[in-house]
Amino acid sequence: MDNTESITLKDTLLPRVEAIVSRDVTQSEKLFAICELLADEVEHFDWVGFYIADKEVPNQLVLGPFVGPPTNHTTIPYGKGICGQVALSHSTYVSQDVHAEENYLSCSPSVQSEIVVPILKNGNFVAQIDIDSNIKHSISDAKKELLEEICTLLSNEF
């Protein structure tokens, strides 16, 4: 792992995420501000969004705040695509080449790699961060660690 990248990304961005989380605004406003921060500051984060466990339809994800091109996938059943798989596995999924995936939902032909990180509250799945990149093999360990720490911070927001 590249420790320098890891320390720099976390040192720079985690305090800014904490500041967003502590704002006196709605959950959606906080999540959108985090999308903007990540899309602006992290290289090759070309689509950044949240999918949230649907409160009305069981075993379904619903699209939350996002930054990037619009997607047709505004709801996703658990199990379908990378997002749906993470809703069941509760584990981070990294695809360095989405064209090699068997269970994948395409948002845009330009997407090449993707990471999905679950947000758990008291061991239950509540939401996830989904990041698309237009470059293959662009999801470094440092980026994965940053996102996992952000998801831990966000657990209290659900």
Instruction: List interacting residues with ligand SME (CB under 6 A).
Output: 47, 71, 73, 76, 81-84, 104-105, 107, 114, 130, 132
In whole angstroms, how close is the CB of 9 to ligand SME at the nearest point?
Answer: 22
Residue 24 half-sphere exposure toward CB, CA atoms < 13 A? 0
In the bound state with ligand SME, the residue whose beta carbon lies nearer, of 5 and 77, is 77
- As measured in angstroms, the least distance from the Cβ of 113 to ligand SME is 11
Angle at CA 25, nearest 5°, toward 20 and 29? 70
- Rg for the chain (alpha carbons), in Å? 15
Nearer to ligand SME, 64 or 81 (CB): 81
Residue (12 or 103) nearer to ligand SME, CB: 103
Residue by residue, DSSP assigns 124-148 as EEEEEEEEEESSTT---HHHHHHHH
